[in-house]
């Protein structure tokens, strides 16, 4: 997996503006369904006619379901009809048919919120990986023949002596030979309190030297360093789905047809006994509405990505 980042003042400005636009419209698209849902509920209790409230309900449903409908159409073109998106649409359509507009809008709004939070967690993870990968292009000052020379971190061997100036990121694991300083370890541990290091103490790559000059001896090469190990783990985690998430995707392929068959039986079985009527349609639509596994669909990828974010 590779991550691109903007370079240069102009590109950085453009990247910031694009990220702001995506964030602004992303937030607006997420919270608009909730806003319309609340307005619809208020109107349903204040207006004698249902048209105004239904209008806001449907607007919230359409905005909240944009992503779901888009993914459903995309998967349908690939021949993957029975997935969680199809079941979400089927269930909420059943709710709309039963005139349960608030329930249908709520499901789509919650799912849209879950997708947004998942995307934000993924974005934070990518930015963190970009930050770690930036160390590959930086230089390390090592001692050779009594002189300090700059080399790439990949060229440093175990046992080499290198130094780190105040404000620099430490790119290699090592032990302090000379000097004392406080380190910012928040990249690795999340701890905001600086960590004091003195001669003989171990230092991990990925931390930032805050004050004093440090002379260190490398204890691992860059390939086996803390920063490179974490980077590889994060890249692998971002590329793969969690086992539970893969299970949900497979589960939906079988669960969705089963739900449709059950609803069909409830709808058409009364024809054999001569008891077919509006109640049969209501029961079939009710099964479709309550069959939506929105809790699993929302929580699994969100919980997984929040864990690595």
Average pLDDT, the chain: 79
Task: Check pLDDT > 60 for residue 152.
Answer: yes
pLDDT digits (tens, 9 = 90+) for 156-211: 999 999 999 998 888 899 999 999 999 988 877 877 888 999 999 999 988 889 98
Mean pLDDT of 71-88: 82
Q: Label the pairing between strands 202-203 and 174-178.
A: antiparallel
Cβ neighbourhood burial of 101 (10 Å; 0-12, 13-18, 19+): buried
Could you tell me the pLDDT band of residue 218, with boundaries at 50, 70 and 90?
Answer: very high
- Start-end of CATH 2.70.150.10 domains in the chain: 157-220
Mean pLDDT of 277-292: 77
Total Cβ atoms within 10 A of residue 83? 19
Give the long-range contacts of residues 195-201, CB within 8 A, separation 24 or more.
200/175, 200/176, 201/175, 201/176
pLDDT above 90 covers a percentage of the chain that reads 22
Which of residues 302 and 86 earns the better pLDDT score?
A: 86
Report the pLDDT value the prediction gives residue 248, as an integer from 0 to 100. 63
Total Cβ atoms within 10 A of residue 286? 16
Could you tell me the pLDDT band of residue 302, with boundaries at 50, 70 and 90?
Answer: low
Mean pLDDT of 47-59: 91
- CATH number, span 157-220: 2.70.150.10
DSSP secondary structure, the chain, as one string: -------SHHHHHHHHHHHHHHHHHHHHHHHHHHHHHHHHHHHHHH-SSSHHHHHHHHHHHHHHTHHHHHHHHHHHHTT--SSHHHHHHHHHHHHHHTT-HHHHHHHHHHHHHHHHHHHHHHHHHHHHHHHHHGGGGS-EEEEETTEEEEE-GGG--TT-EEEE-TTPBP-S-EEEEE--EEEE-HHHH---S-EEE-TT-EE-TT-EE-SS-EEEEESS-GGGSHHHHHHHHHHHHHHS--HHHHHHHHHHHHHHHHHHHHHHHHHHHHHHHT--SHHHHHHHHHHHHHT--HHHHHHHHHHHHHHH-
Mean pLDDT of 212-223: 91
Is 195:179 a contact under the CB 8 Å cutoff?
Answer: no
The side-by-side arrangement of strands in the sheet containing 181-184 is 195-197, 181-184, 208-209
Could you tell me the pLDDT band of residue 249, with boundaries at 50, 70 and 90?
Answer: low
pLDDT digits (tens, 9 = 90+) for 97-134: 888 899 889 988 988 887 787 777 767 766 766 665 55
Mean pLDDT of 270-288: 80
Report the pLDDT value the prediction gives residue 200, as an integer from 0 to 100. 93
Mean pLDDT of 68-88: 83
Q: What is the pTM of this model?
A: 0.58
Report the pLDDT value the prediction gives residue 87, as an integer from 0 to 100. 77
């Amino acid at each position: 997996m590779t991550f691109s980042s903007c370079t240069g003042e102009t590109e950085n400005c453009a990247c910031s503006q694009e990220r702001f636009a995506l964030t602004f419209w992303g937030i607006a698209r997420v919270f608009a369904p909730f806003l319309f849902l609340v307005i619809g509920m208020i109107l349903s209790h204040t207006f004698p006619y249902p048209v105004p409230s239904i209008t806001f309900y449907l607007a919230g449903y359409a905005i909240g379901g944009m992503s779901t409908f888009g993914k459903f159409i995309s998967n349908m073109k690939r021949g993957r009809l029975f997935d969680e998106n199809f079941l979400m649409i089927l269930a909420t359509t059943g709710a709309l048919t039963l005139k349960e507009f608030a329930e249908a809008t709520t499901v789509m709004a919650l799912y849209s919120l879950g997708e947004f939070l998942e995307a934000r967690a993924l974005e934070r993870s990518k930015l963190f990986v970009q930050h770690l990968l930036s160390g590959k292009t930086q230089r390390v000052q090592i001692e050779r023949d009594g002189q300090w020379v700059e080399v790439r971190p990949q060229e440093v061997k175990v046992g080499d002596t290198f130094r780190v100036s105040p404000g620099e990121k430490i790119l290699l694991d090592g032990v302090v030979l000379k000097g004392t300083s406080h380190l910012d370890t928040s990249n690795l541990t999340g701890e905001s309190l600086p960590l004091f290091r003195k001669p003989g103490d171990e230092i991990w790559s990925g931390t930032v030297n805050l004050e004093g000059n440090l002379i260190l001896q490398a204890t691992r090469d860059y390939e086996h360093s803390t920063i490179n190990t974490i980077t590889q783990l994060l890249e692998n985690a971002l590329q793969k789905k969690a086992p539970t998430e893969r299970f949900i995707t497979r589960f939906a392929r079988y669960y969705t047809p089963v739900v449709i068959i059950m609803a069909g039986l409830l709808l058409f079985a009364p024809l054999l006994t001569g008891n077919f009527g509006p109640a049969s349609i209501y029961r079939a639509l009710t099964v479709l509405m309550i069959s939506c596994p929105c809790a699993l669909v929302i929580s699994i990828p969100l919980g997984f990505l929040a864990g690595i974010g």
